[in-house]
Structure formats: structure tokens, C-alpha cells
């Protein structure tokens, strides 16, 4: 009985956390929440993005989904570094086994979100010993909302 109550309690907490996440549908809302120190999570649907690999636009993006928290970021106001539009940038790096089969690599992902809701995602695989670049791909989309086909969905708790 105690196990059943404990499992029910954990399940209830999990469901409440999912329901508490509020979608962020534009750059202004994202910045407001980041400035308040709220936790922001991102889910990227790569298959819905435009992919540029080896300086060529690809016909199709891989049907893959990625997620990350925005724990560290930098914001640049318009004109602060010669940029016309405001943007926020965040990145993460993880040590993974390369799904293409060339051993272990560092998977580096940088996400740049622009003031007009456009998003650029740069994904790189780096050799774990030499840090030599094995692969670089750039994905382009927008912040997702009910009105568009944006592939980058943001949530705040």
C-alpha cells in the first residue's frame, strides 16, 4: 500500500510539473522570463527545420528531436556589437557516442534566437582527442507557436 501511495504521489508531481510549464511564443516573452531568472527549456524538432550542411541546403532534415535547458545565456541589444537585431545565444556541450559510428565525440550545440523570433541552431561533433571538427550542421526555424510551423518550442516553469 505504501508503494502504491508513493508511486501515485510521484506520478501526480510529474503531471503537475508538465502542466505547470507555460509555452513561450515570442522573443519578448523569452527575454522577460530569462531576466526574471525563470527556468526555460527548449525542444527542437530538427525534421521541421531548414538544414544547411557542407554549405549546401539539404532537401530534408533528420527526423530527430533534441532538448536543452537555457542555463547560461548572453543577450545582445540591437547595435551592441554591430548587430541590427537583438538576439540571445546559449550553448551546451556533451560527451556522446557518435550515432554515425566514429566513436565518442563532443556534441556541441549553439542556439541563437533573434528578436524577430527566428532561430539558428549550430550542431557540431568534435573529435574527443584532438577536438578536430568532424561535422557541422546549421538548422534554421522559428520559435514555435499555434500560428506558425516553428520547430523550436520554449517552455518556462
Of residues 32 and 1, which shows the higher confidence score? Answer: 32
Range 107-114 average pLDDT: 97
Range 34-58 average pLDDT: 94
Which sign does the torsion angle of CA 78, 84, 86, 91 carry? negative
Which pLDDT does position 17 carry in this prediction? Answer: 52
Q: 8 in a domain, yes or no? A: no
What cell does 128 get? Answer: 574527443
Q: 131 in a domain, yes or no? A: yes
User: Residue 17: helix, strand or coil by DSSP?
Assistant: helix
Q: Look over the chain and give the mean of its residue pLDDT values, rounded to a whole number.
A: 89
Q: 4 in a domain, yes or no? A: no
- Flag whether pLDDT at 28 surpasses 90: yes
Identify which of 80, 26, 68 has the alpha carbon closest to the alpha carbon of residue 44.
68
Q: 59 in a domain, yes or no? A: yes
Kindly indicate the confidence band of residue 78, based on its pLDDT and cuts at 50, 70 and 90.
very high
Range of the domain at 96: 24-156
Range 26-44 average pLDDT: 97
Q: 100 in a domain, yes or no? A: yes
Split into its structural domains, the chain has a count of: 1
Q: For the chain, how many helices (H) and strands (E)?
A: 2, 11
Q: 15 in a domain, yes or no? A: no
C-beta separation of 34 from 75 below 8 A: yes
Q: 39 in a domain, yes or no? A: yes
Q: 17 in a domain, yes or no? A: no
- Flag whether pLDDT at 6 surpasses 90: no
Amino acid at each position: 500500500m505504501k508503494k502504491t501511495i508513493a508511486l501515485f504521489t510521484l506520478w501526480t508531481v510529474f503531471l503537475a510539473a508538465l502542466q505547470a510549464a507555460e509555452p513561450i511564443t515570442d522573443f519578448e516573452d523569452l527575454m522577460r522570463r530569462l531576466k526574471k531568472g525563470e527556468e526555460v527549456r527548449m525542444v527542437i524538432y530538427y525534421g521541421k527545420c531548414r538544414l544547411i550542411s557542407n554549405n549546401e541546403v539539404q532537401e530534408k532534415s533528420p527526423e530527430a528531436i533534441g532538448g536543452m535547458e537555457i542555463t547560461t545565456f548572453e543577450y545582445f541589444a540591437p547595435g551592441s556589437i554591430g548587430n541590427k537585431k537583438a538576439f540571445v545565444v546559449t550553448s551546451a556541450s556533451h560527451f556522446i557516442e557518435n550515432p554515425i559510428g566514429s566513436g565518442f565525440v563532443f556534441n556541441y550545440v549553439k542556439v541563437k534566437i533573434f528578436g524577430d523570433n527566428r532561430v539558428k541552431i549550430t550542431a557540431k561533433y568534435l573529435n574527443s582527442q584532438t577536438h578536430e571538427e568532424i561535422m557541422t550542421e546549421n538548422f534554421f526555424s522559428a520559435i514555435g507557436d499555434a500560428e506558425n510551423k516553428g520547430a523550436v518550442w520554449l517552455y518556462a516553469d
